[in-house]
């Protein structure tokens, strides 16, 4: 049975807290973590801000389904997924995905699966602010390809 922590909110991501929770399970021999942050440069423009929107009930349900899929495919002990929403600036953390397992292969694969699927299947909408104005961001082809590679 996988222990799961999942949250989507506007709170700062305390990476140390999440790492401490993952490493507290002494059955785990491997922890893999991914932290995504707001880039200062995107599509050849300087980014000054990013607003992430979501549909709360749908987003959490979608993320939980992805975590359950990962837990069925690999022997994951703990999974921690935290995604921010609201107004962010370059350098702010957006997402933390951490997994633990007895062995590294499962931890690496589980974390990569979750990020690849999260990028295309979790209902988040991103509006980027640049000096040229605001724009809504579409999913990138490489993200869709990465997600499809797991099917």
Residues 64-101 have pLDDT tens digits of: 999 999 999 999 999 999 999 999 999 999 999 999 99
d(CA 101, CA 50): 33
Q: What is the CATH number of the domain that holds 19?
A: 3.90.1170.40
Residues 104-134 have pLDDT tens digits of: 999 999 999 999 999 999 999 999 999 999 9
Averaged pLDDT, 3-20: 97
Q: What is the pLDDT of residue 11?
A: 97
Q: What is the pLDDT of residue 23?
A: 96
Q: How confident is the model at residue 60 (pLDDT cuts 50, 70, 90)?
A: very high
Q: What is the pLDDT of residue 114?
A: 99
Distances (CA, A) of 88 to 11, 118, 146, 147: 11, 19, 26, 25
Two structure tokens written together for 57 = 């009930």
> Residue 94 sits in which domain range?
3-148
Q: What is the pLDDT of residue 80?
A: 98
Question: How many domains, the chain?
Answer: 1
Q: What is the pLDDT of residue 1?
A: 86
Residues 13-59 have pLDDT tens digits of: 999 999 999 999 999 999 999 999 999 999 999 999 999 999 998 99
Question: Looking at the predicted structure, is the pLDDT value of residue 139 above 90?
Answer: no
Q: What is the pLDDT of residue 83?
A: 98
Q: To 10 degrees, the CA torsion angle through 101, 103, 108, 110?
A: -40
């Amino acid at each position: 049975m996988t222990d799961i922590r999942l949250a989507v909110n506007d709170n700062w991501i305390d990476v140390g807290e999440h790492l401490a929770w993952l490493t507290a399970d002494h059955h785990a021999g491997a922890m893999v973590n991914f932290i995504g942050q707001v880039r200062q440069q995107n599509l050849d423009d300087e980014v000054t801000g990013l607003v992430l929107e979501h549909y709360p009930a749908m987003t959490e349900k979608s993320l939980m389904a992805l975590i359950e899929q990962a837990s069925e495919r690999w022997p994951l002990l703990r999974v921690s997924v935290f995604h921010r929403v609201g107004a962010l600036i370059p350098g702010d953390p957006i997402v933390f995905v951490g997994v633990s397992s007895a062995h590294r292969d499962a931890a690496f694969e589980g974390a990569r699966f979750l990020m690849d699927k999260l990028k295309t299947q979790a209902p988040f909408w991103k509006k980027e602010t640049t000096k040229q104005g605001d724009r809504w961001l579409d999913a990138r082809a490489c993200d869709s390809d990465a997600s499809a590679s797991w099917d």
